[in-house]
Amino acid sequence: MDDLILTIGDKNLSSWSFRPWFLMKQAGVPFTEENIRLDRPETRGVLKEKSPSGFVPYLTHGAVQIWDSIAIMEYVADLFPEKALWPGNVAARGVARAVSAEMHAGFSALRTVWPMMFLRDHPGHTTQAGVARDIARIDALWTMCRQQYGSGGDYLFGAFSIADAMYAPVVSRFLTYGPVAVSDASAAYMETIRNTDAWRAWADGARQETGAA
């Protein structure tokens, strides 16, 4: 099989890059990482030349390029069925896809008002009603997943899945802009995510990129 090359943006900033990177790293999918720094004078030109969509992330696999975070994760799930990146049970898989689609398509207030800044370490934040609504909905989703589908492990659907990768940048936002009031189940889930090897590796990379290491 050709090598997988995942092209991503800055680890401190690029929430969409974080999702497939976190999935592949935590699941042990072998890949090479390529980086394009965002918010630089040359960024637009580089993305226009190299990325099919003009955005990161994108995945290169031989002659094939796959763009958009969720399509990349679906492609990887197809390539590595033994990694079981979606839940095996049909009902759980359907709900996992719904939860992931809701993240991909929604929560625009949270994403706009609290952009991911992985290394943000100062207290305080601006907020608005839309952010509170998004937080409440995410808390309800996480709590429901953990209670109804999570009995086989510590992740949303028990075992680690694409749904967890979709929400990893939200865990980052809740930690860096919070504290946010969430259920005990959601708080425990956030601890699970922040204690993964992949989370620590991303944080190390973000510190190196920003010169904070």
Ligand X SMILES: N[C@@H](CCC(=O)N[C@@H](CS)C(=O)NCC(=O)O)C(=O)O
Interacting residue ranges for ligand X, rule: CB under 6 A: 9, 14-17, 38, 43-44, 47, 55-57, 68-69
Task: Spell 129-146 as b/e; 16+ CB within 10 A means b.
Answer: eebeebbeebbebbbbbb
Between residues 68 and 209, which has the closer beta carbon with respect to ligand X?
Answer: 68
CB of 9 to ligand X, least distance (A): 5
Between residues 14 and 172, which has the closer beta carbon with respect to ligand X?
Answer: 14
CB of 111 to ligand X, least distance (A): 10
Q: Which amino acid is at 165?
A: A
Strands (E), the chain: 4-8, 32-35, 58-61, 64-67
Work out the angle at residue 114's Cα, subtended by the Cα atoms of residues 97 and 29, and round it to the nearest 5 degrees: 45
CB of 116 to ligand X, least distance (A): 8
CB of 99 to ligand X, least distance (A): 15
CB of 47 to ligand X, least distance (A): 6
Give dist(CA 19, CA 15) in Å, integer: 7
Between residues 37 and 200, which has the closer beta carbon with respect to ligand X?
Answer: 37
CB of 199 to ligand X, least distance (A): 18
Give dist(CA 194, CA 175) in Å, integer: 9
Between residues 44 and 200, which has the closer beta carbon with respect to ligand X?
Answer: 44
Q: Give helix 90-105 / helix 69-79 axis angle, nearest 10°.
A: 150
Between residues 70 and 131, which has the closer beta carbon with respect to ligand X?
Answer: 70
Task: Spell 148-182 as b/e; 16+ CB within 10 A means b.
Answer: ebbeeebbbbbbbbbbbbbbbbbbbbbebbeebeb
Between residues 50 and 125, which has the closer beta carbon with respect to ligand X?
Answer: 50
Q: Are strands 32-35 and 4-8 parallel, antiparallel or unpaired?
A: parallel
